[in-house]
Amino acid sequence: MIHSIISMLIISFSNSLLHENLTISSGNDIHCFDCLVATTEQESYHGLMFRRSLPKNKGMLFPFKQAQKLTFWMKNTFIPLDMIFIDSQGKITNIEKNCTPQTLDARSCISMCQAVFEVNGGLCDELNILEGDEISSPTLSTYGICSKKVQRIEL
């Protein structure tokens, strides 16, 4: 009974989130994701909590108005995740890989960051996504987060 209620709440919460495409440019490869975007404090707090699975091409983006030292945890998160920390230029600063579910261990960026993108644990290794790769999405652009390459194209 309680699992049914939690599942209904997750589906309801997921349907209210913004969905968009996000791309990661990694060497000669471009990886496309369908991502949920946490645009409110409540959405950021809940993140991917209580989910039992996450499709391979999906993830969740947590954008912030200003670059800062970001720290995340895995409280009530049932699946391992890779946490991709993104700076204000749209570059990956570091990746916390295969974060253990249901822990309160702090996972932080190594320098000032303005967003985090969470995907299935192990996916960054599988796709060879590395520090220094570039990430872009409509929300990141709205927050002023974009690579120099993207900025040159837009000018």
Q: Give all domains of the chain, ordered by start, each with its CATH number.
A: 2-154 (2.60.120.1140)
Confidence at residue 146, expressed as pLDDT on a 0 to 100 scale: 81
Task: Give per-10-residue mean pLDDT for the chain (155 aa).
Answer: 44 68 96 97 94 96 97 96 98 98 96 98 98 97 76 38
Sequence-distant (6+) residues with CB within 8 A of 66 are: 114
Confidence at residue 147, expressed as pLDDT on a 0 to 100 scale: 66
Cα separation, 89 vs 33, in Å, equals 19
The torsion angles phi and psi of 24, rounded to 5 degrees, stand at -120, 120
- The two tokens of residue 92 are 């990956």
Cα separation, 24 vs 26, in Å, equals 6
Confidence at residue 137, expressed as pLDDT on a 0 to 100 scale: 97
Q: Assign 68 to helix, strand or coil.
A: strand
The DSSP 8-state label assigned to residue 100 in this structure reads: P
Sequence-distant (6+) residues with CB within 8 A of 30 are: 23, 24
Cα separation, 93 vs 3, in Å, equals 37
Confidence at residue 4, expressed as pLDDT on a 0 to 100 scale: 44
The torsion angles phi and psi of 38, rounded to 5 degrees, stand at -90, 105
